[in-house]
Amino acid sequence: MKPLVAIVGRPNVGKSTLFNRLIGARKAITDPMPGVTRDPVMGDLTLSRGVAQLWDTGGVAESSDATDRLVADRAREVMGQADAILMVVDATEVVGDDLRLIEALRPSAAKVILVGNKVDNERRELHVPELHRLGFPTVVAIAAVHGRNVQQLRDELDARLFGDREGGEAAGPVSGARDETDSQIPRLAIVGKPNAGKSTLLNALAGADHAIVSDTPGTTRDPVEALISSFGHQLYVVDTAGMRRRNRVEGGVEYYSVNRAVEAVSRADVALLTVDAEEGLSDQDKKIAAVAVRRGSAVVVGLSKWDLVLQRHPDTHRADLLRAMTDRIRFQFPVLGFAPVVPFSAKSGSGLRSLVEKVVSVHGQLCRWVSTGQLNAALGRWMAQTVFTARGRELKSRYITQTSANPVRFVLFVNRPQAAPDAFRRFIENRIREELGFPEVPIDVEIRGS
């Protein structure tokens, strides 16, 4: 397993800036406003002798706010799992919240590196001796924004984590990390509007509190990642921030949260569009799904809080309720006509097995390849059944081949490609979907001349 390094500290001392600097990417959202990071954010920390899993945690501070307390509790959980802890303070201002967290870390002092941040000039270096008085054997003064002395911190971590390993061979992935070489594990992005139950679903599937759950909409900001095993299947799951209409998205933190969510959808194999079953599909849900369809990801529509719908309609059969809601979704958003609809309740656990099995099933369809021989034999049958004309002349299909899986794409060669009607393309797409094993995933057919 990869060793785990946790970045901890009170809000607004530069933890997320340091995280991004160490992994070499802008993955965690940074903002001058305190308390931006809530759920832990993970990334690979590549050192000279191995790779560690780096976690950026939310700020730990005394607060009467319920969400702040959940954030602090989650950060403490990560500290308990860590092999090394980067305790970050503002070198120019060590306050009560810093001192309380430092005292809590005393029993784990051997794992702690005290990081004095914002030391970006000689005047601020005068504060560094005060940090040594806090009682930790290793103190590194840095400026995360500019990268000053960050290499020194990397060298310290390298020596601590991999100094006794011959050749620096890195260990395997820790729970929560995805081995990028394993393409067999479906990548699932949980998307939807704020407060649709996405974080509750992730925790229910994982059987652990990976994401902070609150009744306050917009609690999740950074994508929360977890490699989970559920009902006999492995899934790499990303819980994303709720996406609102563009004209309602506030600047700063929410803007970057939504961008991170869109990025997560673009990297996913399957987008689980989490819809509040009591509210139904909204215009924003349609736009979220459209992002996935354009990328070629499969979409599963998950009707969350299904137990509440059943309670409100005790005299209506469950199958009739589901059929009515599915028909409404198909009517409102025809582009999702292929997408399966699965009801579930994350709180009670009902429907979760069906949900996981459906995700695995559509991932299998995404990865399916059809031989060119099988495709052209089917094309011959289809064209013998129906004649299409283009500007008064018969449209003749010459040849078809599959060019990629996940996303699923085909190229069809015809005699008059510019004149081919949309009905012809839809006919071919429907036949491929219905007869060749792609009933629940988006497919793209490119028509070329021959």
Q: State pLDDT tens for residues 415-429.
A: 888 888 889 999 999
Q: What is the mean predicted confidence (pLDDT) over 397-401?
A: 92
Residue bearing the bigger pLDDT, 384 or 280? 384
Query: Tell me, what's the pLDDT at 354?
Result: 95
CATH classification code of 4-168:
3.40.50.300
Angle at 42 between CA 163 and CA 70, to 5 degrees: 120
Tokens read off for 383: 């064209």
Q: What is the DSSP code (8-state) at residue 167?
A: G
Query: Tell me, what's the pLDDT at 385?
Result: 86
**Region of poorest pLDDT, from 18-22, 261-265, 326-330:** 261-265
Whole-angstrom CA distances from 334 to 243, 285, 329, 362, 427 are 21, 13, 8, 19, 15
For the chain, how far is it from start to end, CA to CA, in angstroms? 53
User: Phi/psi zone of residue 280: left (φ > 0), alpha (ψ -120 to 50 degrees), beta?
Assistant: left
Tokens read off for 118: 């914002």
Is the Cβ–Cβ distance between 421 and 388 less than 8 Å?
yes
Convert 75-109 to b/e letters by CB count within 10 Å (16 or more is b).
beebbeebbbbbbbbbbeebeebbeebbeebeeee
Whether 372-449 and 4-168 are alike in CATH topology: the answer is no
Tokens read off for 292: 């996935």
Report the CATH superfamily, name and number, of domain 187-366: P-loop containing nucleotide triphosphate hydrolases (3.40.50.300)
Question: Which residues, other chains included, contact 308 with Cβ-Cβ below 8 Å and sequence gap of 6+?
Answer: 277, 278, 345
Q: Exposed, middle or buried by CB within 10 Å (0-12, 13-18, 19+), for 300?
A: buried
Q: What is the DSSP code (8-state) at residue 174?
A: P
Tokens read off for 285: 């849900």
Question: Which residues, other chains included, contact 423 with Cβ-Cβ below 8 Å and sequence gap of 6+?
Answer: 388
The percent of residues above 70 in pLDDT, for the chain, comes to 81
Longest dimension (CA), the chain: 89
Band (252; pLDDT cuts 50, 70, 90)? very low
Give me the half-sphere count of Cα atoms (radius 13 Å) on the Cβ side of residue 404. Answer: 11
Backbone angles phi, psi at 227, to 5 degrees: -95, 115
Q: What is the DSSP code (8-state) at residue 173?
A: P
pLDDT digits (tens, 9 = 90+) for 93-112: 888 888 988 888 888 888 89
What fold is seen in the domain 372-449? GMP Synthetase; Chain A, domain 3 (3.30.300)
Nearest to 351 by CA among 205, 218, 216: 205
Band (67; pLDDT cuts 50, 70, 90)? low
Domain ranges of the chain: 4-168, 187-366, 372-449
